[in-house]
Structure 1
Amino acid sequence: MKFQQFLTKHTTQITLITGILIILGYLSQYLLQFTRGYQLSLIAASIIAVVPIASRAWSALINKVFSIELLVSIAVIGAFIIGEFNESAIVTFLFLFGSYLESKTLQKTRTAIKGLTEMAPTTATVVTTTGTKTVDVDDVDEGDLVLVKTGGQIPVDGLVTEGNGYLNEASITGESRPIVKTTGDPVYAGTLVENGYVKLTATQVGDDTTFAKIIELVEEAQDTKSKAEKFIDRFAQYYTPAVLVLSSLVFIFSRDFSLAITVLVLGCPGALVIGAPVSNVAGIGNGAKRGILIKGGEVIDTFAKVDTLVFDKTGTLTQGKTAVTSFKAYQPTTTAILTTAAAIERLSDHPLGQAIVTYAQQHPTSMSAPTLTTTETVKGQGITAQIAQQQVVIGNQKLLAAHHIKLTTAQLADLNTMQQAGQSTVIMATDGQVQAIFGIADQIRPQVKASLAALKAQGIKRLVMLTGDNQLTANAVAHELAIDDVHANLMPAEKVTYVQQLQAAGHTVAFIGDGINDSPSIANADIGIAMGSGTDVTIETSDVVLMQSSFPALVHAHGLAKKTVLNTRENIFIAIATVAFLLVGLIFGYIYMASGMFVHEASILVVIFNAMRLLKFQTNFDKTQAQSTTMPVTA
C-alpha cells in the first residue's frame, strides 16, 4: 500500500525520468553510435515506467477488474521478449504522459467546484457581551450574533438583525450583481459584503449551511453516472478480456508475436472509458458556476429528452408579489385619493391592501395622512372608515353593494377590463361616489416570455401551466406568455394527476415550481426543477435547482443538458473512430506499437479537450441577452 502511494505521489517525476532516458538513448544511438547505451537507456526507461503501470494493473486484478494498465503491462513484457525496447519505452512513456495530461485537463473541468471550496469561510467574528472575538467557523453555534464588515465573508446562514450592505451572492446564485440586504433579510454562508456591514443571527452552521450543501450536491453530482457511463463501464469489463483473447488468437493464427502485442496496445479503450464522464463533469461544472445545480449525469440525460414543461404559476411564472398594475381615478384629486387609500389600507395585512400602500409610496405627496375616526374591517369584503364627516368605503363589489353604491357604465367597463386581464380589483368610494378602481395582479417574472420562446426554439414542444389560482387570472397569464395549455383551481394532488397523465401519454415531463407546495409534482415528474433561492426543500427534493430563480437560467440549463448529451456522443464517436483507424492501420501496416500508442493517447486528450468546451458553453439566448445588455444607447 505504501509503495503504491509512493508511486502515485511521484508519477510525474517517474514520467520525467523516463522521457529523459529515452532522449539519452536516442542521442547515444544517433549522435554517438553507442548502441549498448541506447539499449540500456531504453531498458531502464521501460522498467522505471512500467512499475507504476503494473502496480495499478495488479490492484485492479485483485478487485477482479481487467484494466487498461493490464493490457499495457502485458504489451511491455511482450516487447521485452522480442527485444523491442524502444517500443516498450515509448509505449510506457506515452501512457504515463497521457495520464499526466489527462489529470491536468480534468482538473480544469472541476474549476467550478474548486472555486466554490476555496470561497468557503474559515473564521467568523462573534459578538459577545464584552465585545467581539474571532473564532473558527466550526465553533459558531445557532443563535450566535455574527458581525461581518465591508470586504468580509458571511460565515454562516442567518438573518440580518442590524445594519445593511450590498452582498455579492455569486457563490449561491451565480448572480454577480450586488444585492442589498437589510434587517430581516436572509444571508448565506460564502457570500461577500462588498459595501456596508451586517450583524446576523446564525440560523444554520457548518455542514447545514446552504453553501456547504451546494458544494456537497455538485460533488455528488459529478460522481453520479449517466446511462452512457454505466453502459461503458459494463462494456469495459468485457472489452479488456476480449482484447486479450483477440491478441491470443492473432498470435495462434499468424505466429506473429509482435503483431499480437500491438493488438494489445491498440485495444486500450481509454478514450471510450473517459469520454462520457468528462463531458458530464464539465457540463455540471458549467451549471454550478451559473448557480444551476444539476444532480448527476442521469439527470442530464433525462432533461435533454424533455418535450413538455409544466409550470406552477404563483412564485414561478410570477414573482409571487402583488402590485397595482392598473389605476383609474374618477376625481381630479389623484394624490388625495392615494393618500386616503394608503391610510386606510395600512390597517390591513391583506396582500391587496399592501399593494395599494406600496403603490401610494411610489407616488409620494406632501399631503399628510388623514385622521381616521372610526374603521371597520368586513371579512372577505374590505374596510369602511370615517374621515372627518365623510364615509369612505374601500373593497370589492360585495362591499359596495352592501352600501348601495353603484358604478356608472364607464366605471363598470373599466372594472370588467381589469378583471378580464386577470387582475383583482379594489374599489374606493366616498359618500356613495366611486372615486377610484385599483387593478392588482401578481407580476410576471422578468424575461419569462422571451425565455419560453427560447425554450421552444431549443426543442420543447409543449408548455403547460397548472395553478391553484382562478381560471380568469390563469387564462390572462397564459395568454400573455403564449402557454399552450392551462388548468386552474387545482389542489397539489390534482397537479400530480395532470403530470402523470402527460407521462402516460408518452411525454417526458419537467415540472418547474417553487419547491415547497409543489414538491409532490416535482417528485413525480421525470425532471423536477426548483426555482429557489437556496432553501433546504428546493435543494433536497428536485433534480435541478435554479438558485437565481430566473428563467434565463432555465433556458441555459436545458440547453446545457442537450449540449452535454451531444458532447458525450461526440466523444464516443471519436473513441470508436480511433479504434477503427488503428485497426485499419494495423491491417495495412502503417501503424505500429509506439505510433498506435501515440494515437491512442492523443484520442484521450481530444475527448477531454472536446468536453472542456462545455465549460464555456452558452445558448443562443445567453448570447442574445449579453448583446442586449451591452448594446450602446443612442439618442
Structure 2
Amino acid sequence: MKYTIVHDMPGRIRLRCGRNAFSLDEGYSITSVLMAQTIVTDAKASSINGSLLIFYVDDSRSLLLDFIDTLVPAELPVIPPAERDTTSEVDADFQYALAFRIVRRLLFRGLLPSPVRHVITLFRAVPYVVRGIKSLLNFRINVDVLDASSIGVSLAQGDYRTASSIMFLLSLSDLLEDYTRKKTKLALAGSLSVNVDTVWKQDSYGNFISTPISQLEEDDTIIVRTSGTIPVDGTICEGEAYINEACMTGESQSVLKKAEDSVYAGTVVEDGSIVIKVRAIGNGTRMNKIIELIDQSENLKADVQSHAENLADSIVPFSFLASGLAFLLTRNATKAASVLLVDYSCAIKLATPISVISAMREAANHKIVVKGGKFLESYALADTIVFDKTGTLTVASPSVSEVIPFPPYNRTEVLKTSACLEEHFPHSVAHAIVHKAEQENLKHREEHAEVEYVVAHGIRSKLHGKKALIGSYHFIVEDEWIPVTPEQKSIIEEKGHGKSAIFLALGDTLAGMICIDDPLRPEAAETIQALRESGIKKIIMLTGDSDEAARDVSAQLGITEYQAQILPEDKASVIERLKEESHQVIMVGDGINDSPALAAANVSVSMKDSSDIAREVADITLLSTDLRALVTLRHLSLSLMERIQKNFHVIIGFNSLLLAGGLIGFIPPAASAFLHNFSTMFISAASMRPCLKPPV
C-alpha cells in the first residue's frame, strides 16, 4: 500500500494515500485489520482524502509501517454493515446538514425577492401549525402549540422575518438533538454488543464439541446450559430452561421455554439446559432491541428528565396567560407578541435530555455502559455501595494455588474431574480450575451425566454411576452430608487458612480440595477511598467465603462492614434492608449468585468479566477491568446533576429578562424570538460538552 507520511510523532502517525486510494467499504476493512494488531491502540481511515490516522504503542513505528506496506485494500475481508463503527459518518452528516442550513439561510435572505421568501416561509410554517393543531385536538397545550402560536402570530403581523428566524433556530435545535441521539446510540450499540467466540455444537456422532461461532451454520444444533448466552436465533429441539429475555422485552422475569419454542440471540439461560436448532446467526437483534429500549422506554428516563419534560409542558399555558395579560394591560400587540415568543419550556425540555444522553455517551467513551438515564441519576444520589468480593474486589482471573487429594484419590484425578465438571460454567473460579488442567495437559472426556448448577453452592452430577459434587464446604458437607474425617478437617483448616477453597466429592467420599489464589485488584483500596471521598457514606462487602478470609480482605481495603458465608437470597435481603433504612444503594457484582442482589438495588453495576445473567440484570456494565471506573462514573453522574440544575437556573433567569424587556417595549418581537431561540440552542450545545474535565 503506497502512502506519504504527513504527520509523525511518537505514538501517533498520519498517512496520506491519495484520493480514491480506497473505497468507503475498504476503509472499514483497513481500520478493522489495523485494530486487530496488538501494537495499534486506535485507527481511523477516511476514504474521502485517503488518509489514515493511527495511534500505536511506543517503539513499534517500524513494525507498523512494515505491516501497512503489505496491505492491499481490495484483498481485505469486507466488514458487515452491522459491525462497522459509523461515528465518523454521523459526524460528517451533521457537519454537512449544519453547513447546508446556514448557507441556505444566507442565500435565502440575500438572493430571493421578498414575495418568494414569504411564500417559502408560509410553506415551511405548515408542519409546525399542523403539529400544534394536532396537540389541541388531543386536548394538550404543549410546546408544539406554543411553537405554532409564535410562528402564527409573527405571520399574522406580517413579520415574515421573525417567523423564518424562529423556524430556522428550531430546525437547528432539532438537528442538534438528533445528532446527539445518533452519537449516543452508536456508542451504546458498540458497547452493548455481546461477543460469543465459541459454542458447543453437536457433531455427526451426537457429541457436543467446542466450535468457533464463525463456523456455525443454519440448521446446526448447539447446546446452551445454565448462565450461558444464547448466541443465535433458533428453535429448541430438546430440554427446557428458564430464559431471561430482558434484552428483548424489558421484563426481568424469566420465561420457561421448552421443545418447539423459539429463542433469540442475546437472551440468557437462567436455569436449565436446551438444545437449539439454529435458524439465524448473529446478535444484531439483541443490539437493536436494547438500543430501542434505551431510546424509547419512559421507564429508563431519569426522574429529573421526566420532571423537566412535564414541567416544560405545564409552563406553556402560563406563557399564553402572560401574553394575554400583557395585551390587556398595554393594549399593545407587539408587546404581547414579544412575551409569547419567549418561554421557559423549549430550553428546559431540550437541554435536560441532551445533558442526560450526552452523559451516557461520555460514559460509553469511558467504557461504561449505562442502560438508561435514570440509572445515572440513581448513581449520583446513592449514599451506600455494596460489593461482592470474588471477581469484583479481587481479580477476575483467580488461579489454582494448590490441589490437595484425599485418599484413595490422587491429585490428577481430583483436578481432572473438577475441570470436567466446571468447564461449562462461566465463573472465574471455574475458569481457574479448567485453566489449571489445561496447563498440566490433563485432557478429559465428558463422561458425566447432565450437570445441575446449584446457584452459589456448586455443581451436582453423576460420574460412572456415582454421585459427583463440587462446590463450597457448606454445599458439600452441610447440604449434601458428605462426611469429613478428623485428619481431613485438620488439613482443610491448615491449607485453607485465609483462602478460597473448592471441594470435590465422589460418591459419599470427600475426594479433595482445590485452593484458589484470589488476589485483590491493585486499585481496589484506592477506589474504596475515592468513593468515600465522593460522598458514599456506607461501603459494605458481601462474600460466600469464610469469616476469616472476609476479615482479611476488609482490613486490607479499609472496609469496616462486611458479611461472610452469605447466600444469594441473603445478599438480596441485605440490599432490601438497607433500602428500608432509606439508603440509596449501589450493588456491584459479577456472578450468577449476585443477580438477586443486583436486581434488588436502586442501581446495579456488573464487571467486565461478569456472567451473562449479571450483565443482563445490571443497570450499568463496566467494559474495563479497572475498578476506578466506578469513581469516574460517580463524578460523571454528580457533574450531570449539577449541570441540569445550572441549566435550569440559567434558563429561568435569561428568559425572565427577555420577558421583562418585551413587556416594557425594550426588546422587539424579532429580537425577542432570536435571543430566546439562540439561547435555547446555545444551552443545548453547551449541554453536549463533557461533564468531566480532561486529565492534566
Does the TM-score normalized on the shorter chain lie above 0.5?
yes
Q: Is the 1:424–1:440 contact (alpha carbons within 8 Å) kept by the matching residues of 2?
A: yes
Shift in Å at residue 54 of structure 1? 1.5
SS at match of 1:551: coil
Shift in Å at residue 273 of structure 1? 0.6
* Distance in 2, Cα, partners of 1:611 & 1:275: 6
The residue type equivalent to 1:23 in the other structure is G
* CA offsets 1:339-369 (integer angstroms, 9 cap, x no match): xx976865663899998998899999xxxxx
Question: Over aligned residues, Cα RMSD in angstroms?
Answer: 5.1
Q: Is the 1:559–1:619 contact (alpha carbons within 8 Å) kept by the matching residues of 2?
A: no
* Distance in 2, Cα, partners of 1:80 & 1:355: 73
Asked if 1:509 is matched to 2:585, the reply is: yes
Identify the residue that residue 220 of structure 1 maps to in structure 2.
293
* Distance in 2, Cα, partners of 1:303 & 1:17: 44
The residue type equivalent to 1:143 in the other structure is T
SS at match of 1:571: helix
* CA offsets 1:520-571 (integer angstroms, 9 cap, x no match): 2222222222335475422432222334464233333333322322232233
SS at match of 2:565: coil
Query: CA 1:75–1:464 in 2, change beyond 3 Å: closer, same or farther?
Result: closer
Identify the residue that residue 408 of structure 1 maps to in structure 2.
none
* CA offsets 1:8-60 (integer angstroms, 9 cap, x no match): xx9998997665343246xxxxxxxxxxx54x355334313322321222233
The residue type equivalent to 1:474 in the other structure is A
Identify the residue that residue 137 of structure 2 maps to in structure 1.
62
Q: Is the 2:344–2:651 contact (alpha carbons within 8 Å) kept by the matching residues of 1?
A: no
In the TM superposition, 1:404-423 aligns within 5 A as 421-422=498-499
SS at match of 2:621: strand
Of 143, 151, 165, 2:221 maps to 143
Identify the residue that residue 399 of structure 1 maps to in structure 2.
487
Query: CA 1:245–1:443 in 2, change beyond 3 Å: closer, same or farther?
Result: same
Query: CA 1:210–1:512 in 2, change beyond 3 Å: closer, same or farther?
Result: farther
SS at match of 1:70: helix
The residue type equivalent to 2:293 in the other structure is E
Query: CA 1:533–1:220 in 2, change beyond 3 Å: closer, same or farther?
Result: farther
In the TM superposition, 1:590-609 aligns within 5 A as 590-609=666-685
The residue type equivalent to 2:107 in the other structure is I
Query: CA 1:142–1:86 in 2, change beyond 3 Å: closer, same or farther?
Result: same
Q: Is the 2:375–2:603 contact (alpha carbons within 8 Å) kept by the matching residues of 1?
A: yes
Of 307, 311, 322, 1:246 maps to 322
Shift in Å at residue 598 of structure 1? 2.0
Q: Is the 1:156–1:206 contact (alpha carbons within 8 Å) kept by the matching residues of 2?
A: no
SS at match of 1:512: strand
Shift in Å at residue 259 of structure 1? 0.9
Higher alpha-carbon Rg: 1
More deviation, 112-121/56-65: 112-121
The residue type equivalent to 1:213 in the other structure is R
SS at match of 2:593: coil
Identify the residue that residue 451 of structure 1 maps to in structure 2.
527
* Distance in 1, Cα, partners of 2:278 & 2:663: 64
Query: CA 1:120–1:475 in 2, change beyond 3 Å: closer, same or farther?
Result: closer
The alignment covers a number of residue pairs equal to 484
The residue type equivalent to 1:546 in the other structure is L
Asked if 1:20 is matched to 2:72, the reply is: no
Asked if 1:43 is matched to 2:118, the reply is: yes
SS at match of 1:612: coil
Shift in Å at residue 303 of structure 1? 1.3
Q: Is the 1:451–1:551 contact (alpha carbons within 8 Å) kept by the matching residues of 2?
A: yes
* Distance in 2, Cα, partners of 1:303 & 1:43: 51
Shift in Å at residue 304 of structure 1? 0.9
* CA offsets 1:388-422 (integer angstroms, 9 cap, x no match): xxxxxxxx9943799xx9xxxxxxxxx97x86655
Identify the residue that residue 60 of structure 2 maps to in structure 1.
none
Q: Which runs of 5+ in 2 are unaligned?
A: 1-96, 205-212, 224-229, 234-263, 267-274, 404-409, 423-428, 442-468, 471-483, 504-513
Shift in Å at residue 225 of structure 1? 1.8
* CA offsets 1:450-471 (integer angstroms, 9 cap, x no match): 2223322322222101122110
Q: Is the 2:217–2:281 contact (alpha carbons within 8 Å) kept by the matching residues of 1?
A: no
The residue type equivalent to 1:584 in the other structure is A
Query: CA 1:421–1:102 in 2, change beyond 3 Å: closer, same or farther?
Result: closer
Q: Is the 1:102–1:604 contact (alpha carbons within 8 Å) kept by the matching residues of 2?
A: no
Query: CA 1:515–1:570 in 2, change beyond 3 Å: closer, same or farther?
Result: farther
Q: Is the 1:11–1:52 contact (alpha carbons within 8 Å) kept by the matching residues of 2?
A: no
* Distance in 2, Cα, partners of 1:278 & 1:209: 32
Q: Is the 1:21–1:45 contact (alpha carbons within 8 Å) kept by the matching residues of 2?
A: no
* CA offsets 1:69-102 (integer angstroms, 9 cap, x no match): 4334333443344443433343333333443444
* Distance in 2, Cα, partners of 1:292 & 1:548: 8
SS at match of 2:566: coil
Asked if 1:564 is matched to 2:640, the reply is: yes
Identify the residue that residue 99 of structure 1 maps to in structure 2.
174
* Distance in 2, Cα, partners of 1:21 & 1:249: 36
Identify the residue that residue 260 of structure 2 maps to in structure 1.
none
* Distance in 1, Cα, partners of 2:555 & 2:326: 69
* Distance in 1, Cα, partners of 2:615 & 2:430: 33
Query: CA 1:526–1:118 in 2, change beyond 3 Å: closer, same or farther?
Result: closer
Q: Is the 1:60–1:66 contact (alpha carbons within 8 Å) kept by the matching residues of 2?
A: yes
The residue type equivalent to 2:290 in the other structure is L
* Distance in 1, Cα, partners of 2:290 & 2:680: 28
More deviation, 462-471/220-229: 220-229
Query: CA 1:424–1:493 in 2, change beyond 3 Å: closer, same or farther?
Result: closer
What is the TM-score with the length of structure 2 in the denominator? 0.58
Q: Is the 1:218–1:288 contact (alpha carbons within 8 Å) kept by the matching residues of 2?
A: no
Query: CA 1:51–1:469 in 2, change beyond 3 Å: closer, same or farther?
Result: same
* CA offsets 1:104-139 (integer angstroms, 9 cap, x no match): 455444441465799999xxxx9999xxxxx99998
Higher helix fraction: Structure 1 or Structure 2? 1
* Distance in 1, Cα, partners of 2:284 & 2:366: 14
In the TM superposition, 1:67-216 aligns within 5 A as 67-113=142-188, 140-141=218-219, 143=221, 212-216=285-289
Asked if 1:257 is matched to 2:333, the reply is: yes
Identity %: 24
Query: CA 1:273–1:353 in 2, change beyond 3 Å: closer, same or farther?
Result: closer
Shift in Å at residue 308 of structure 1? 1.0
Asked if 1:278 is matched to 2:278, the reply is: no
In the TM superposition, 1:207-356 aligns within 5 A as 212-223=285-296, 224-267=300-343, 269-319=345-395, 322-323=398-399, 346=415, 349=418
Query: CA 1:540–1:266 in 2, change beyond 3 Å: closer, same or farther?
Result: same
* Distance in 2, Cα, partners of 1:486 & 1:475: 8
Query: CA 1:215–1:571 in 2, change beyond 3 Å: closer, same or farther?
Result: farther
Identify the residue that residue 494 of structure 1 maps to in structure 2.
570
The residue type equivalent to 2:607 in the other structure is M
Q: Is the 1:247–1:264 contact (alpha carbons within 8 Å) kept by the matching residues of 2?
A: yes
* Distance in 1, Cα, partners of 2:685 & 2:153: 32
* CA offsets 1:195-251 (integer angstroms, 9 cap, x no match): xxxxxxx97978996664344324422433211222222223322222112211211
Asked if 1:555 is matched to 2:640, the reply is: no
SS at match of 1:529: strand
Q: Is the 2:385–2:539 contact (alpha carbons within 8 Å) kept by the matching residues of 1?
A: yes
SS at match of 1:489: coil
**Higher relative contact order structure (alpha carbons within 8 Å, sequence separation ≥ 6):** 1
* Distance in 1, Cα, partners of 2:545 & 2:593: 13
Q: Is the 1:312–1:466 contact (alpha carbons within 8 Å) kept by the matching residues of 2?
A: yes
The residue type equivalent to 2:289 in the other structure is E
Asked if 1:480 is matched to 2:556, the reply is: yes
Query: CA 1:322–1:581 in 2, change beyond 3 Å: closer, same or farther?
Result: same
SS at match of 2:577: helix
Q: Is the 1:492–1:521 contact (alpha carbons within 8 Å) kept by the matching residues of 2?
A: yes
More deviation, 582-591/227-236: 582-591
